[in-house]
């Protein structure tokens, strides 16, 4: 089984170590487009043996957002007949599965002829910035369920013809041979809120890169928040946080969960024929 990952990088030196620590065990090839990094991101990317580094080029001169969406909808197509799965994601998005390895999970999905695996999104939060040795999905486990981050990131490039991602990849309308897993176990852990001052500075830096066309459409509005506005959102996220490391936690059991890819009233089946009890037992044995 081969897995390819596509993403864009811009001044992510402080996050790349966590990103690679998370994805290296199951990703065979990274195709990373740099958008003019001025920190040490390029040196880190060039030193990684699995990374194919390219320069990101805006296809919409006045809009990074629309250029980014076109990249997400098109770049992965070169992996057809080369990979069994592709991942389209962001540096701060860690896809996590509880109770078994990512590779085992994807191999099981292949056997079930699953072709696309949307993920349940959580906005992760930590008041202090993590240390370099950490695997964030194991050490920073507080997060607020957030429907906005319910995204399609993993799919079979040989079965999907078009992804038709919306702006921000918050929704998709995939075309092709589409088969979902019977149970939504995959999570997208969004590691944006790691240290308040760090996040505030990062937001301001990203805001400086937003073009006038995108700003006119209110894309990236959060990048222009004041410290007070960010703190208000920070505390709101904190109030809604749950611990994904809690014994017996199952993402598809989150109350009031809304998934754009499922019909109203959908009930998840037992994961891979396992009972809930055996799922929990497997998870406990892995930690």
Residue 197 sits in which domain range? 3-286
Q: Is the pLDDT of residue 281 over 80?
A: no
The DSSP bridge partners found for residue 5 are: 30, 87
Q: Cα(270)–Cα(185) distance, rounded to whole angstroms? A: 10
Look over the chain and give the mean of its residue pLDDT values, rounded to a whole number: 93
Q: What are phi and psi for residue 121, nearest 5 degrees?
A: -95, 140
Q: Cα(284)–Cα(248) distance, rounded to whole angstroms? A: 8
Q: Is the pLDDT of residue 190 over 80?
A: yes
Tell me, what's the pLDDT at 122?
98
The confidence band for 143, taking pLDDT boundaries of 50, 70 and 90, is: very high
- Taking only the tens place, the pLDDT of each residue in 63-94 is 899 999 999 999 999 999 999 999 999 999 99
Tell me, what's the pLDDT at 271?
60
Tell me, what's the pLDDT at 62?
86
Tell me, what's the pLDDT at 168?
93
Phi-psi region at 145: left, alpha or beta (left = phi > 0; alpha = psi -120 to 50): beta
Q: Is the pLDDT of residue 284 over 50?
A: no
Residues 6+ apart with CB under 8 A from 21: 134, 135
The confidence band for 208, taking pLDDT boundaries of 50, 70 and 90, is: confident
CA neighbor of 262 nearest in space, from 167, 160, 183 = 183
The confidence band for 211, taking pLDDT boundaries of 50, 70 and 90, is: confident
Tell me, what's the pLDDT at 94?
98
Q: What is the DSSP letter of 28?
A: S
Domain with 199 in it: what CATH number?
3.90.550
Per cent of the chain over pLDDT 70 is: 94
pTM: predicted TM-score of the whole model, two decimal places: 0.92
> What's the total number of domains in the chain?
1
- Taking only the tens place, the pLDDT of each residue in 20-42 is 999 999 999 999 999 999 999 99
Tell me, what's the pLDDT at 272?
42
Residues 6+ apart with CB under 8 A from 127: 195, 196
- CB burial of 1-23 (b: ≥16 within 10 Å; e: otherwise) equals eebbbbbbbbbbbbbbbbbbbbb
Q: Is the pLDDT of residue 161 over 90?
A: yes
The confidence band for 270, taking pLDDT boundaries of 50, 70 and 90, is: confident
Q: Cα(72)–Cα(83) distance, rounded to whole angstroms? A: 17
Q: Cα(271)–Cα(273) distance, rounded to whole angstroms? A: 5
pLDDT (average), residues 99-123: 97
């Amino acid at each position: 089984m081969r897995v390819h990952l596509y993403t864009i990088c811009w001044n992510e030196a402080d996050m790349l170590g966590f990103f690679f620590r998370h994805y290296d065990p199951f990703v065979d090839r990274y195709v990373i487009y740099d958008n003019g990094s001025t920190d040490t991101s390029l040196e880190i990317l060039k030193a990684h043996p699995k990374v194919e580094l390219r320069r990101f080029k805006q296809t919409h001169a006045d809009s990074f957002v629309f250029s980014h969406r076109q990249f997400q909808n098109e770049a992965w197509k070169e992996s057809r007949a080369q990979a069994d799965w592709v991942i389209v994601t962001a540096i701060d998005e860690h896809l996590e599965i509880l109770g078994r390895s990512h590779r085992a999970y994807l191999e099981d999905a292949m056997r079930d002829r699953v072709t696309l695996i949307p993920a349940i999104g959580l906005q992760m939060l930590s008041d202090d910035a993590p240390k370099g040795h950490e695997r964030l999905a194991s050490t920073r486990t507080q997060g607020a369920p957030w429907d906005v981050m319910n995204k399609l990131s993993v799919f079979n490039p040989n079965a999907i013809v078009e992804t038709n991602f919306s702006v921000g990849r918050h929704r998709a309308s995939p075309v092709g041979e589409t088969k979902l897993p019977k149970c939504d176990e995959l999570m997208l852990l969004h590691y944006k809120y790691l240290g308040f001052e760090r996040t505030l500075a990062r937001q301001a830096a990203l805001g400086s890169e937003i073009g006038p066309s995108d700003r006119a459409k209110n894309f990236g509005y959060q990048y222009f928040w004041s410290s007070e506005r960010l703190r208000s959102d920070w505390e709101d996220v904190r109030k809604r946080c749950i611990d994904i490391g809690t014994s017996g936690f199952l993402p598809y059991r989150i109350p009031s969960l809304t998934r754009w890819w499922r019909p109203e009233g959908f009930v998840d089946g037992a994961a891979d024929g396992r009972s809930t009890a055996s799922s929990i037992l497997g998870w406990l044995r892995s930690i």
